[in-house]
Amino acid sequence: GVWIASEGKPSLGVVIIFSFGGFIMRSAGCIMNDIADKDFDPHVERTKTRPLAAGRISLKEAYSLLLVFIVIAYILALFLTWQKIVLSIPALIIALSYPFAKRYHSLPQAHLGIAFSFGIPMAFVQISGSLPLEAYIIFIMNICWTLVYDTEYAMSDREDDKSINIKSSALLFE
């Protein structure tokens, strides 16, 4: 999104903020996922050795690190336009709500796709001040890409997901 919105000439500052912000928010999302799944992960072969599931860190430590990452992301957002700061609020809500999606609907991978793709409209708003058609197209394409690759990833958890009543696109599409 940064490169397309800037027509291949993004400022170094924007590249740094969006790259670091993406890393920070993905990290925060992973922590939130482990917090939300702390009671499920010990029963899933692929996730039973995660630090929180295995008891190597406490829930308080996980929440503390999550808060640190959210504060860093907020500080990064302060270097951008007010419109981008406003967009960061739903981006945070979507990122933090993703881990709970698998309890309520069968397309949590699409929810993840929205969380992972939210930087695209944020980049366009930051750089061009608008959301042209190409921003929407890239946003939707990225959601679809995430849905596809994360469904493939979720295939390995199908049997465990069935036994603990977790929903996924892997179970939906079989």
| Mean residue pLDDT across the chain | 90
User: At 92, which amino acid appears?
Assistant: L
Least confident window among 27-36, 111-120, 132-141, 149-158: 149-158
Report pLDDT digits (tens) over 56-78: 999 999 999 999 999 999 999 99
CA separation for the pair 122, 137 (Å, rounded): 14
